[in-house]
Amino acid sequence: MAGTPIFSSGLLDLLGGRTSQRRTESTSVETGNVGRRGKTINIFSVASGHLYERFLKIMILSVLKNTHRPVKFWFIKNYLSPQFKDVIPHMAHEYGFEYELITYKWPTWLHKQKEKQRIIWAYKILFLDVIFPLALEKVIFVDADQIVRADMGELYDMDLRGRSLAYTPFCDNNKEMDGYRFWKQGFWNDHLRGRPYHISALYVVDLVKFRETAAGDQLRVFYETLSKDPNSLSNLDQDLPNYAQHMVPIFSLPQEWLWCESWCGNATKSKAKTIDLCNNPMTKEPKLQGAKRIVAEWPDLDLEARQFTC
């Protein structure tokens, strides 16, 4: 069911009176969340292409197998294939979760990206205050190519100490990668001034605080200034919140909330609450190959997810 959002006058003021539409398609599955109790955990993700939709189904299963409370997934609709949109209702019915497909029309007054990947990155960070219903208080973003090994209720309930955003800092205990840690040299080292550089594969958004502090407006102002320089925001969804930390503070999550082989040593893998299949700038190993090698449960999850393939 599609519709337009209801904006409060305060939010309209926040956006300068511009009313770009947020549209949703939702389902409340009759058998959804059977046996699950407590406050619903909202998880947000985005995927484009067959491989990442394959990863996304595996991520969904990993969340559900480790989380005891009701779960609702929010997916950016724009780049999902018709095949994925066909199978997600069957997954929701089979595993008992809710989902909503959301989209947001890019504002005409904001500098627009041209490359598909950069537009997807922008949707991860630029419109958090307006892409979700005003009643939604908190959401966790989880990358499609991430495997969850912990109960997401623990992360959802974490005290962010007044911050509207929470990210995990990059690991620094895989010494082989020291030469690739760009945030410890040059521009980033000078700009951060001792603050950590965080990875954008997993983050929590306190939407109430985010809106109260006009964090979305502040991020869009930084984006508008930086994005016109082609040498800025190489990793848009990650660089932007890290750059803006002095204005939009980030709560640093405990390191175990995100482990990826590229940056983290094997000594900490056993404690990982999520494993991200992040790119390795040294080996450039294909993600599918890496998934099978790095994550013990991945083949079984993949096999299970394959029953929902058109």
Instruction: Give percent of the chain above pLDDT 70.
Output: 89
Task: Give residue-wise pLDDT tens across range 186-235.
Answer: 999 999 999 999 999 999 999 999 999 999 999 999 999 999 888 889 99
Q: Which amino acid is at 45?
A: S
For residue 33, pLDDT beyond 50: yes
| The predicted structure's pLDDT at residue 23 | 59
pLDDT, greater one: 18 or 249: 249
Is 50 exceeded by the pLDDT of residue 154?
yes
Exposure of 294 in the CB half-sphere (CA atoms within 13 A): 26
Looking at per-residue confidence, does 18 or 297 come out higher?
Answer: 297
The pLDDT value given to residue 284 = 87
Q: Which of 219, 52, 41, 60 is nearest to 129 (CA)?
A: 219
The answer, yes or no, to whether residue 12 has pLDDT greater than 80, is: no
pLDDT at 310: 57
Report whether 144 contacts 230 (CB < 8 A): no
Confidence at residue 16, expressed as pLDDT on a 0 to 100 scale: 40
More confident residue, 23 or 90: 90
Which pLDDT belongs to residue 255? 96
Q: What is the arithmetic mean of pLDDT over 10-15?
A: 38
Between CA 134 and CA 216 the distance in angstroms is 14
Residue 21 scores a pLDDT above 80? no
Q: What are phi and psi of 211, to 5 degrees?
A: -75, -40
Confidence of residue 180 (pLDDT cuts 50, 70, 90): confident
Which of 55-64, 138-147, 285-294, 301-310 is least confident? 301-310
Count CB-CB contacts under 10 A for residue 246.
10
Helix (H, G, I), strand (E, B) or coil at 229: coil
Q: Is residue 56 within 8 Å of 18, Cβ to Cβ? A: no
The residues with which 274 forms a beta bridge, in sequence order, are 148
pLDDT of 243 > 70? The answer is yes
- Better-scored residue on pLDDT, 29 or 228: 228
Q: Which residue has the higher pLDDT, 163 or 3?
A: 163
**Structural domain boundaries in the chain:** 9-308
Cβ-based neighbours of 32, under 8 Å, separated by 6 or more? 70, 92, 93, 96, 97, 98
* Cα–Cα distance measured from residue 63 to residue 146, given in angstroms and rounded to the nearest whole number: 10
pLDDT at 174 over 90: no
pTM for the model: 0.89
Q: Is the confidence at residue 159, as pLDDT, over 50?
A: yes
Q: Where are the beta strands (DSSP E) in the chain?
A: 22-27, 41-45, 71-76, 98-104, 138-142, 146-148, 165-169, 198-206, 250-252, 274-276
The predicted pLDDT at position 94 comes to 94
Whether the Cβ atoms of residue 198 and residue 168 lie closer than 8 Å to each other = yes
Interacting residues of 82 by C-beta distance below 8 A, sequence separation 6+: none
**Digit-coded pLDDT (tens) for 93-119:** 999 999 999 998 999 999 999 899 999
**CATH value of 9-308 in 3.40.1410.10, 3.40.50.1220, 3.40.50.11540, 3.90.550.10:** 3.90.550.10
